[in-house]
Amino acid sequence: MSIKFISDLIFDIYLKKELINKINFNDKDDLEKYLKKLFKILKKKYNITVEGFYDITVYIDKYYGVVFHLQKEDLDYYDYYKNQVDMRIITVDTEFMYEVEDIPFDILNKVKVCVSDYNIYLKIEEELTKLEMMNLMENSKLVFDK
């Protein structure tokens, strides 16, 4: 799991597919229960408190896993939301792109190369090994639709 803070009210949580293989993303109740467990882990392990109202977009990629994009609503109901979480959840099936500076030739037969505005992007077309995926993640920037 990794976390990227965009602002005080917006952050992303990245989870590889091995961590979320038992979650049914089509069942909103199941997903909400999982998110509440995840928020407890964030509090205990990272000292990140999630309380209040959040718009949560769940970006799902079959090769990578998921990215939870959380945006807290800046409401004046601070006392009402103390130690409580309310959320509006939207799930999006998507295909992540990986922005790279150099094309990794060892996985060239498993990816599609796209060039846009002088940037090189890779789209996974075939399952990568764990080592290949790890190397790709270390040498790229994950891009998904926000």
Q: In the 3-class helix/strand/coil scheme, how is 14-72 assigned residue by residue?
A: EEEHHHCCCCCCCCHHHHHHHHHHHHHHHHHHHCCCCCEEEEEEEEEECCCEEEEEEEE
The C-alpha atoms of residue 53 and residue 75 are separated, in whole angstroms, by 8
Contact 14, 4 (CB under 8 A): yes
Contact 64, 96 (CB under 8 A): yes
Which secondary structure element, helix H or strand E, spans residue 133, and what is its range?
helix 130-138
pLDDT of residue 77: 58
pLDDT in tens, the chain (146 residues): 999 999 999 999 999 998 888 888 889 999 999 999 999 999 999 999 998 889 999 999 999 999 999 999 887 655 555 678 889 999 999 999 999 999 899 999 999 999 998 999 999 999 999 999 999 999 999 998 75
Decide: residue 52, CB within 10 A, 0-12 exposed, 13-18 middle, 19+ buried.
buried
φ/ψ (deg, to 5) at 128 = -95, 155
